[in-house]
């Protein structure tokens, strides 16, 4: 089956809602931010067995990636647990004898575009349910509108003729639906990619709850640009998760 994909765009969205005057993003260690994001997602109930793959380019080792460890709960993962992997997907430095699992999909995204600094794929419940429809989300409210303009849908996992996730990433789509296999998001920072994943799960929840409900409405297409966050704004949205991890003493 061939799925319809929204026209791609390589341009980053404009900043519709400016950041507060004087706001400067905090500079933190990549592994710390990955751990903080995963712990936040664990709190939200996004963990399901060992399913889920999170990775980021390792700034201190060009051409390598930090990958979440196999068998370690995302609710308890620490920065020291992340595994260093090379550009071929081979482990070059283990932490605590940890292995990795299922990095191939994330690696394809990293290879597809240099802008893919961070890639996130978890089996969060509402997004995973929505993915079975093989449809893009609709802007049923302004929260859902945050990601509607960033999404693309792929059926390649089942041998379909539509674009792959890597091709969608090359086209600038940051929210990548896989038919019946959930969603992956990417960004130029941990905060950006993580916020898109969080917002997409909320948008899927809203779309499922309102499906078939009388009086359901969708925001006008020409209003989406107003609500689509810039990468900087998306990252700033996720600052609340990072400051929570700091308050809880994540090390």
- Distance between CA 184 and CA 124 in Å, rounded? 10
Q: What does the pLDDT look like over 184-225, one tens digit per residue?
A: 999 999 999 999 999 999 999 999 999 999 999 999 999 999
- And the tokens for 113? 């575009």
- Distance between CA 246 and CA 213 in Å, rounded? 41
Phi, psi angles (nearest 5°) of residue 111: -70, -25
Residues 6 or more apart whose CB falls under 8 angstroms from that of 148 comprise: 136, 137, 138, 139, 203, 224, 228
Pairing of strands 151-154, 175-178: parallel
* pLDDT score of 20: 85
* pLDDT score of 15: 45
Which residues of the chain fall short of a pLDDT of 70? 1-16
**Architecture of domain 30-210+220-247 in this structure:** 3-Layer(aba) Sandwich (3.40)
Domain boundaries, the chain: 30-210+220-247
* pLDDT score of 21: 85
pTM here is 0.91
* pLDDT score of 219: 96
- Distance between CA 210 and CA 166 in Å, rounded? 31
* pLDDT score of 3: 34
* pLDDT score of 24: 86
């Amino acid at each position: 089956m061939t799925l319809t994909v929204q026209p791609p765009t390589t341009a980053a969205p404009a900043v519709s809602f400016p950041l507060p005057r004087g706001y400067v993003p905090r500079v933190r260690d990549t592994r710390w931010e990955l751990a903080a994001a995963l712990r936040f997602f664990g709190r939200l109930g996004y963990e399901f067995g060992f399913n889920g793959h999170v990775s980021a380019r390792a700034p201190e080792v060009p051409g390598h990636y930090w990958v979440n460890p196999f068998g370690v709960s995302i609710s308890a993962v620490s920065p020291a647990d992340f595994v260093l992997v090379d550009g071929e997907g081979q482990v070059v430095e283990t932490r605590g004898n940890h292995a990795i699992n299922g990095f191939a999909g994330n690696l394809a995204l990293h290879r597809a575009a240099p802008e893919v600094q961070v890639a996130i794929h978890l089996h969060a419940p509402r997004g995973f349910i929505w993915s079975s429809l093989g449809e893009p989300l609709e802007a049923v409210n302004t929260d859902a509108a945050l990601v509607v303009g960033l999404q693309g849908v792929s059926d390649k996992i089942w041998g379909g003729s539509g674009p792959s996730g890597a091709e969608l990433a090359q086209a600038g789509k940051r929210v990548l639906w896989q038919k019946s296999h959930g969603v992956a998001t990417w960004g130029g920072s941990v905060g950006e990619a993580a916020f898109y994943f969080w917002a997409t799960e909320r948008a899927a929840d809203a779309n499922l709850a309102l499906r078939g409900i009388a009086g359901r409405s969708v925001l006008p297409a020409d209003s989406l640009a107003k609500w689509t966050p810039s990468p900087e704004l998306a990252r700033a949205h996720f600052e609340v998760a990072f400051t929570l991890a700091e308050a809880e003493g994540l090390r």
